[in-house]
């Protein structure tokens, strides 16, 4: 069976990229990463892709006078590689509405909070400042409004006494690395339908456990 062709867009560390690389190494994984794009030449994640033998391209946003021209170059590369699903993984550029609309329902993002809470940056520090007891991550389809779009999967983790932003980020990140490959798998298996602002996933069992924190 043909595997779904993915592009992963990064700006930095690339640990979610690595999680996708690891998942796609399994012979039965239904998607393959055919291109890694970074807007930053020094992104660490580029080395992960190179080590896995995946072609990489840097599109340095600083070379483009306008956002639309940068996005047009991304679009050209994605189409040129026959990309079927775009995975944003720590990609730190806002995309134009025209680009997002061109890739509607074919572009997903991972965000380190339980959306719709804590959109934007510095999610962990803001979650700690707000005193939430449960944090987490979300994989969602991308829509023009930042950090909005039908949710594919979320994972919750507890906020623990003594957590600082780094400790909470690490706990959430471990959950991210499980969620992103799973969401891609469901899309590649053709299980996902979009119904208005919701994503429906056929044939997956709902989880029934409850995370209560602090525990009673």
Nearer residue to ligand GRF within complex by CB, 50 or 200? 50
Q: What angle do CA 67, 15, 69 make, to 5 degrees?
A: 10
Nearer residue to ligand GRF within complex by CB, 120 or 190? 120
User: Per residue, what are the HEC states of 78-136?
Assistant: HHHCCCCEEEECCCCCCCCHHHHHHCCCCEEEEECCCCCCCCCCCHHHHHHHHCCCEEE
Nearer residue to ligand GRF within complex by CB, 121 or 205? 121
Q: Bridge-partner residues for 201, per DSSP? A: 192
Minimum Å gap between C-beta 167 and ligand GRF is: 14
Q: Tell me which H or E stretch contains 137.
A: strand 134-141
Minimum Å gap between C-beta 150 and ligand GRF is: 17
| Catalytic (active site) residue 81 | no
State the Cα–Cα distance between residues 24 and 54, nearest whole angstrom: 11
Q: Residues in the site for ligand GRF, rule: CB under 6 A?
A: 10, 12-16, 45, 89-90, 110-112, 173, 176
State the distance between the two ends of the chain, measured CA to CA, in whole angstroms. 48
State the Cα–Cα distance between residues 15 and 45, nearest whole angstrom: 7
State the Cα–Cα distance between residues 26 and 185, nearest whole angstrom: 12
State the Cα–Cα distance between residues 171 and 121, nearest whole angstrom: 17
Minimum Å gap between C-beta 189 and ligand GRF is: 23
Minimum Å gap between C-beta 120 and ligand GRF is: 11
Minimum Å gap between C-beta 174 and ligand GRF is: 11
Nearer residue to ligand GRF within complex by CB, 90 or 149? 90
Measured in whole angstroms, how far is the alpha carbon of residue 28 from the centre of its chain? 21
Q: Which of 48, 111, 124, 140 is catalytic?
A: 111
Catalytic site positions: 111
């Amino acid at each position: 069976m043909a595997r779904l062709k993915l592009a992963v867009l990064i700006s930095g560390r690339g640990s979610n990229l690595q999680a996708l690389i690891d998942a796609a190494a399994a012979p039965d994984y239904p998607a393959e990463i055919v291109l890694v794009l970074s807007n930053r030449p020094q992104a660490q994640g580029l080395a992960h892709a190179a080590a896995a033998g995946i072609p990489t391209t840097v599109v340095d946003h600083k070379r483009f006078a306008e956002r639309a021209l940068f996005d047009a170059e991304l679009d050209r590369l994605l189409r040129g590689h026959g990309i079927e699903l775009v995975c944003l993984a720590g990609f730190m550029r806002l995309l134009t509405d025209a680009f997002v609309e061109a890739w509607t329902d074919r572009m997903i993002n991972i965000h380190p909070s339980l959306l719709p809470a804590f959109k934007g940056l510095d999610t962990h520090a803001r979650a700690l400042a707000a005193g939430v007891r449960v944090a987490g991550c979300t994989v969602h389809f991308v829509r023009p409004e930042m950090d909005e779009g039908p949710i594919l999967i979320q994972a919750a983790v507890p906020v623990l006494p003594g957590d600082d932003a780094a400790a909470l980020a690490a706990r959430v990140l471990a959950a991210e690395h499980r969620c992103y490959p799973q969401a891609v798998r469901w899309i590649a298996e053709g299980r996902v339908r979009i119904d208005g602002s919701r994503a429906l996933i056929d044939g997956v069992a709902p989880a029934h456990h409850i995370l209560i924190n602090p525990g009673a």
